[in-house]
Structure 1
Amino acid sequence: MSDMRKTDSRASRTRLLLHRSLATLIHEKSYDAIVVKEILARAHLARSTFYAHFDSKEELLLSSIRYVLAVARDRLPELSDPVDRLLYFSLPVLQHIEAHIQQAPVAATRRGHRQVHRRLEKILIEQAEADIRRAPLDRDMPATPPELLAQHLVTTFLVVIDWWLHCRPAPSAREADDSYRVLVEPILRMGRCA
């Protein structure tokens, strides 16, 4: 059993190293321009180690996004407000980006960001729609199809990220999150008693 835990721990550390390496590179250059060799050099890992965990750079990116969201979702039990529970992802994702921007201050191109945003958008919309269907916000709210509300929340979030990444001087992740919430919370709280 001890050997199994060591192997699991080692595999988790390796995946985390790869996630961090990719995240830092994404803020230095376009996602399309990144090659596996650069990720490995940044992580100080061998090619065989990469392919023992991931089939491609794309799989690593999707895994990285899901990892950040899973860590954020672990906080859900602390959140009692239904709106906070629905928007659980916003501040942690912004803080994740902020941490990697500080490590790699050279900004990638807008086109490079769009490549990553498309993957993030797909995953977030799926999760937001499932969350809305599982726990509707308020019976008094006008009936908005869950898929439309999820699309609105995520698209607005991506607009805020794009604005934030190109803002000079850049606000903090918390300030960017506050800006996002100003844009979406009124819709989510509509019909709720004050």
Structure 2
Amino acid sequence: MKKLLLMVLLMAGAGILPASAQRHVKHISSWGAHLGRSETGDYYELSYTPMLTNRLALRLSGGYEHGALAFRGEYSVYQGRVLVSPQLFRLGEFAYVHLLVGAGAGYEWTNQNGTGEAANGSNEPQRFTYGPQAGLEADFFLGNRLSLVATGTKGYLFNNPLVDQWPGMAGVGLRYHFR
């Protein structure tokens, strides 16, 4: 985390500070890298976010979550999310707060490396899940092109998930904005 903060500060001081008039305008896009904690493990996520209007974005992301559960052992979840992101408010040109509403789908795999208790015949160690998700996201701009992102989401999963019925995630990341 210290290395990430040092990299952000160095990039912000390296002249990536163009005029701030183009932060949240139509046709601006961004790539993001995020890491954080779920309620049962760690997750990593890559995102692409195009601005559809000056106050509405579409957030597309793919992620990987891993951890260990008491009865199912080590697990991995590969997931994708599509979220509509209307702007709730902003603080000058520094912070933009967005609502996240959409859906996600994932592939869960438990009992990896023989670490969980033996599953009975009716429980499979792998499953596809899907469901709605909602949350909040805040961009804190370090320049016109680079922002520090804080995200929190909560969802509900269908198809009898193996890891968590109500998954929650909180994380931080960096986002690069471009035209």
Provide TM-score, normalisation by structure 2: 0.31
Structure number with the higher helix fraction is 1
Provide TM-score, normalisation by structure 1: 0.29
